């Protein structure tokens, strides 16, 4: 018996050979070929071929496996004949490099490989001063608007690009507006693991944005407990994130105090501040892993701020105009997501927010000691909302989503003793499918319907996007969709009962090539506005307009060592007839050409980052009321130029990861004019310019991680 077995070992070697290919018939090298449960086997060569001998006999299973591919198996009966086996391996899920919808959107995320931006990019963009919106302004489609808050996208106003946090609408994402000065976003970029900037054609999950959307996704459980301390030229901040021992629960919060008083004492502003801007704000959060797949998140934010200033009156030379603002803002957001089983996912969200602005508008005598007039404006808006969404996974990749949301919104406008209040009940339902025809070709087909009780009208908005991957890194996308928005709240004051939804229809085509080291993208769009609100001679939905253009984006992290840069260029052709425009004209918030160059260089030897951001925009239209009506908005301001510089030095101070930041906006002191205000008698005008040409910032941010502290203790 033993002899027989031994004889078999010597004489019974059978050769197995063949060639391994992928689904596209390309040879695969490095594939592990084995007879299951035996040592026998080999690895395929560069041409995909292989050959090995075995002493195994009888019924066996041949296996071909490679990381990132499905394993192929082949049952055989080994006798005395050589065997041939030519396996075909298919890329496995996750490695598939699946096509995804990309028309109109830029994503910053760590989770999805091959995104255009990383969350850190938002913080490290020079000139943005860690403001999400300012960083997004360096992407194609966004305008360089310095006199009003918000993102002005593809010929739209700031109102046309709403902000969403974890699927919920944010009513007041920016600090309360101040005449002719754009305000920062309220929310810290460190709160979010993902940011999507859509400049059109976005998902049916979101509504009430004619032009774009800023979709923010909050962080999950922190990796470890940590605390932060921020000290800067404008204030102080403290924060903490605590992770439970079981790593299933975390809570945290931040407290920030900002006072621009000392800074304004050093750097003269155009406005004479009577109340130096002071902001107190803070947030709290908790996150609970309710199961392996379930997550409950709460985020709450509160702000109190005040400021007041005087500036020379345009209408009454020698007098001063007074502006004061007190703001109280609360935003809360509670969301829950879980996989119910392998097919179903549930999302539930609830949010409440409340914003109160107390504004004083006055006139003072030239000497500033006599108050000639004072009017009080009290604006308040609140929003309670709820949303539910179900996702049904179909097949390997496709999914169907549907849901509904309800908003209970109130607005009150007070002007001295006059008071106007509105309540709107808004209801929306949506359904959308991500349909994969192949791994390279997909469609997103969706529809959204909305009702507003104030307008007493329904709308229905179909949206379709297609994406086709022509090569591993290259894909084409097209998108079409209807987008509706309620008219701006200001218009409601004049006959809201006669108004209906404002509508924009988007057509987008784009091509992109994305690799780890570079991104290239070109996108063309056409947007048609209808139902824009006109206020002369009557408040109606009689306006219309269009915007079309082409945009380029190039990002390169490889060519120059330690240098990462991107270039965005936007060409925009837009006209609209709305508000008091006598005819369709290019609006004063739209520049024809916009260019941004963002440059980041890392110096490993001195652990420093140097950031430069250069922005250019061609002159924007303004109207000189002394010109005939036919020349409405025919004048152009000087072009906009801005160079922001930031320098970060990274250090380890007693185990605390520390970043020192020095930044200057508009370092070259370029003159920036956003438009002109004219006096009522048209004889005087004043350029709309920033409060100061440059803004300097010095700060230190320290992060104390529990583990790092431990490291320090261990080392001593």
CA distance 553 to 120: 19
Site string for another protein, 636-675 (x = CB under 8 A): --------------xxx--x-x------------------
Distance CA 142, CA 156 (A): 9
Which residue among 47, 110, 220, 631 contacts another protein (CB under 8 A)? 110
CB of 110 to another protein, least distance (A): 6
Considering only residues 208 to 237 of the shown chain, the ones binding another protein according to CB under 8 A are 223-224
Rule CB under 8 A: choose which of 8, 13, 15, 36 binds another protein. 36
Q: Does 32 bind another protein (CB under 8 A)?
A: yes
- What is the DSSP track for 391-403? EEEETTTEEEEEE
Cβ proximity to another protein: between 22 and 338 the closer is 22
> Interaction with another protein in 591-620: which residues (CB under 8 A)?
604, 607
Q: How far is the CB of 228 from another protein (least distance, A)?
A: 13
Q: Per-residue contact track with another protein, 259 to 288, x per CB under 8 A? A: ------------------------------
Q: Indicate which single residue of 67, 81, 266, 629 sits in contact with another protein (rule: CB under 8 A).
A: 67
**Residues near 14 by Cβ (< 8 Å), separated by ≥ 6?**
53, 54, 55, 78, 79, 80, 81, 82, 83
CA 25 to CA 28: how far, in whole Å?
9
Q: Pick one of 43, 398, 439, 505: the residue that binds another protein (CB under 8 A).
A: 43
Q: Which stretch binds another protein (CB under 8 A): 42-50, 484-492, 524-532, 635-643?
A: 42-50
Instruction: Give whichever of 343 and 654 is closer to another protein, judged by the CB atom.
Output: 654
Count of other CB atoms within 10 angstroms of residue 138: 27
Give buried/exposed letters for 209-229 (b at 16+ CB in 10 A, else e): bbbbbbbbbbbebeeebbbbb
57 or 516: CB nearest another protein: 516
232 has which bridge partners? 235, 699
CA 171 to chain centre: 16
Distance of CA 497 to the CA centre of its chain: 34
Decide if 327 contacts 299 (C-beta within 8 A). Answer: no
223 versus 392: smaller Cβ distance to another protein? 223
Of 110 and 631, nearer to another protein (C-beta) is 110
Q: Where are the beta strands (DSSP E) in 578-633?
A: 593-603, 608-617, 621-622
Given a contact cutoff of 8 angstroms between Cβ atoms, the answer to whether 227 and 704 are in contact is yes
Which one among 7, 8, 23, 37 touches another protein, defined by CB under 8 A? 37
Q: Cβ distance 672 to 693 under 8 Å?
A: yes
| Residue among 8, 30, 262, 366 that touches another protein (CB under 8 A) | 30
Interface size with another protein, residues (CB under 8 A)? 40
Q: What is the dihedral of CA 157, 389, 165, 409, to 10 degrees?
A: 60
Residue 72 sits in the site that holds another protein (CB under 8 A)? no
Among 40, 283, 381, 551, which residue interacts with another protein (rule: CB under 8 A)?
40
To another protein, the closest distance from the beta carbon of 33 in angstroms equals 8
| Nearest residue (CB) to another protein, 176 versus 195 | 195
Q: What angle do CA 399, 400, 403 make, to 5 degrees?
A: 140
Nearest approach in angstroms of CB 10 to another protein is 15
Is residue 73 a contact residue for another protein (CB under 8 A)?
no
Binding to another protein by residue 705, rule CB under 8 A? Answer: yes
* Phi, then psi, of 544 in degrees rounded to 5: -160, 175
Backbone φ, ψ for residue 7 (5° rounding):
-60, -40
Under the criterion CB under 8 A, does residue 90 sit at the interface with another protein? no
> Closest distance between another protein and the C-beta of residue 558, in Å?
9
Instruction: State in angstroms the smallest separation of the CB of 551 from another protein.
Output: 26
| One-letter-per-residue 3-state SS of 141-172 | CECCCCCCCCCCECCCCHHHCCEEECCEEECC
At 131 the three-state DSSP class reads coil
Site membership for another protein, residue 120 (CB under 8 A): yes
When the beta carbons of 37 and 631 are compared against another protein, the nearer one is 37
Measure the CA–CA gap between 512 and 523, rounded to whole angstroms: 8
Structure tokens at 90: 């298919």
CB of 193 to another protein, least distance (A): 11
Residue 203: CB minimum distance to another protein, A: 26
Smallest gap from residue 43 Cβ to another protein (A): 4
Cβ distance to another protein smaller for residue 11 or 46? 46
Q: Which is nearer to another protein, 392 or 516 (CB)?
A: 516
Site for another protein in 299-338 (CB under 8 A): none
Which one, of 270, 356, 287, 281, lies nearest residue 321 by Cα?
A: 270
Q: Which of residues 485-544 bind another protein (CB under 8 A)?
A: 515-517
CA 471 distance to own-chain centroid: 27
Exactly one of 14, 20, 41, 501 binds another protein (CB under 8 A); that residue is 41
Q: Please identify, among the stretches 32-40, 387-395, 418-426, 618-626, the one whose residues bind another protein according to the rule CB under 8 A.
A: 32-40
Cα dihedral 581, 583, 588, 593, rounded to 10, equals: 170
Which structure tokens are listed for 281? 């704000």
CA distance 485 to 386: 19
Binding flag, residue 113, another protein (CB under 8 A): yes
Tokens representing residue 682 in the block: 């048209």
- State the Cα–Cα distance between residues 652 and 659, nearest whole angstrom: 9
Q: Residue 46 or residue 268: which is nearer to another protein going by CB? A: 46
Work out whether strand 192-198 and strand 213-218 pair parallel, antiparallel, or are unpaired: antiparallel
State in angstroms the smallest separation of the CB of 361 from another protein: 46
Shortest reach from residue 256's CB to another protein, in Å: 22
Contact region with another protein (CB under 8 A), list: 25-33, 273-281, 285-293, 389-397: 25-33
In DSSP terms, 613 is beta-bridged to 598, 644
Q: Is there a contact between 572 and 552 (Cβ–Cβ < 8 Å)?
A: no
Q: With contact defined as beta carbons under 8 Å apart, do 89 and 22 qualify?
A: yes
Shortest distance in whole angstroms from residue 32 CB to another protein: 4
Count of positions (residues) in the chain: 716
| Shortest spacing between CB 86 and another protein, in angstroms | 18
> Candidates 24-32, 184-192, 544-552, 610-618 — which segment interacts with another protein by CB under 8 A?
24-32
- Answer yes or no whether residue 680 interacts with another protein by CB under 8 A: no
By CB under 8 A, name the one of 47, 488, 538, 711 that touches another protein: 711
Residues of this chain that bind another protein (CB under 8 A) = 1-2, 29-30, 32, 34, 36-43, 46, 67-68, 95, 110, 113, 118-120, 124, 223-224, 515-517, 604, 607, 650-652, 655, 657, 705, 707-708, 711
């Amino acid at each position: 018996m033993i002899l027989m077995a031994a004889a078999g070992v010597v004489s019974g070697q059978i050769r197995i050979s063949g060639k391994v290919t992928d689904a596209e018939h390309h040879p695969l090298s490095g594939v592990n070929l084995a007879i299951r449960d035996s040592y026998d086997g080999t690895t395929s060569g560069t041409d995909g071929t292989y050959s090995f001998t075995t002493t195994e006999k009888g019924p066996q299973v041949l296996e071909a496996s490679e990381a990132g591919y499905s394993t192929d198996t082949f049952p055989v009966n080994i006798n005395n004949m050589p065997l041939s086996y030519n396996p075909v391996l298919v890329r496995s899920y996750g490695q598939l490099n699946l096509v995804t919808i990309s028309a109109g959107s830029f994503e910053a995320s760590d989770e999805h490989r091959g995104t255009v931006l990383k969350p850190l990019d938002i913080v490290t963009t020079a000139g943005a001063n860690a403001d999400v919106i300012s960083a997004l302004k360096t992407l194609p489609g966004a305008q360089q608007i310095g006199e009003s808050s918000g993102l002005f996208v593809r010929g739209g106003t700031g109102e046309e690009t709403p902000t969403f946090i974890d699927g919920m609408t944010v009513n007041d994402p920016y600090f309360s507006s101040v005449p002719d000065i754009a305000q920062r976003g309220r929310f810290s970029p460190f709160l979010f693991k993902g940011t999507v900037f859509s400049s059109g054609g976005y998902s049916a999950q979101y509504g009430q944005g004619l032009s774009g959307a800023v979709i923010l996704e909050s962080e999950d459980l922190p990796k470890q407990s940590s605390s932060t301390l921020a000290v800067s030229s404008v204030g102080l901040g403290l924060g903490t994130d605590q992770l439970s021992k079981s790593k299933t629960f975390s809570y945290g919060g931040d407290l920030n105090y900002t006072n621009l008083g000392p800074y304004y004492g050093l750097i003269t502003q155009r406005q004479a501040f009577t109340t130096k801007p002071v902001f107190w704000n803070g947030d709290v959060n908790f996150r609970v892993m309710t199961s392996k797949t379930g997550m409950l998140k709460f985020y709450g934010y509160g702000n109190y701020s005040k400021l007041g200033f005087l500036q020379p009156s345009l209408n009454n030379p020698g007098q001063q105009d007074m502006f004061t603002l007190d703001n109280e803002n609360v935003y809360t957001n509670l969301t829950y997501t879980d996989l119910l089983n392998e097919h179903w996912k549930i999302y539930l969200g609830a949010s409440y927010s409340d914003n109160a602005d107390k504004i004083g508008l006055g006139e003072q005598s030239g000497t500033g000691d006599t108050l000639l007039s004072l009017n009080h404006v009290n604006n308040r808006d609140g929003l309670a909302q709820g949303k539910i969404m179900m996702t049904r996974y179909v097949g390997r990749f496709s999914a169907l989503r549907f849901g509904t949301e309800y908003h209970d919104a109130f607005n009150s406008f007070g002007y001295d003793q006059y008071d106007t209040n509105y309540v709107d009940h808004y209801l929306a339902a949506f359904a959308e499918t991500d349909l994969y025809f192949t791994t390279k070709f997909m469609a997103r087909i969706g529809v959204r319907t909305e009702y507003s009780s104030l307008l007493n009208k329904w709308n229905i908005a179909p949206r379709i996007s297609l994406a086709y991957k022509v090569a591993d890194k290259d894909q084409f996308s097209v998108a079409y969709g209807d987008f509706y928005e309620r008219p701006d709240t200001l218009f409601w004051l004049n006959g809201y009962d006669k108004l209906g939804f404002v509508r924009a229809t988007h057509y987008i085509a784009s091509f992109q090539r994305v690799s780890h080291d570079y991104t290239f993208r070109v996108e063309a769009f056409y947007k048609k506005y209808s139902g824009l609100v006109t206020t002369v001679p009557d408040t109606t939905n009689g306006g219309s307009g269009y915007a079309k253009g082409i945009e380029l984006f190039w990002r390169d992290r490889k060519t120059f060592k330690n240098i990462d840069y991107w270039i965005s260029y936007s060409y925009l052709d837009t006209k609209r007839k709305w508000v008091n425009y006598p005819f369709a004209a290019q609006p004063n918030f739209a520049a024809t050409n916009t260019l941004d160059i963002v440059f980041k260089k890392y110096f490993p030897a001195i652990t420093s980052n140097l950031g430069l951001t250069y922005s250019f925009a061609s002159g924007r239209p303004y109207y000189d009321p002394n010109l005939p009506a036919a020349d409405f908005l025919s004048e152009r301001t000087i072009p906009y130029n801005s160079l922001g510089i930031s320098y970060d030095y990274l250090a380890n101070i007693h185990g605390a990861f520390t970043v020192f930041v020095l930044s200057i906006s508009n370092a070259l002191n370029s003159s920036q004019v956003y438009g002109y205000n004219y006096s009522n008698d048209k004889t005087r005008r004043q350029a709309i310019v920033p409060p100061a040409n440059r803004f300097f910032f010095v700060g230190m941010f320290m992060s104390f991680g529990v583990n790092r502290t431990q490291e320090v203790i261990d080392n001593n």
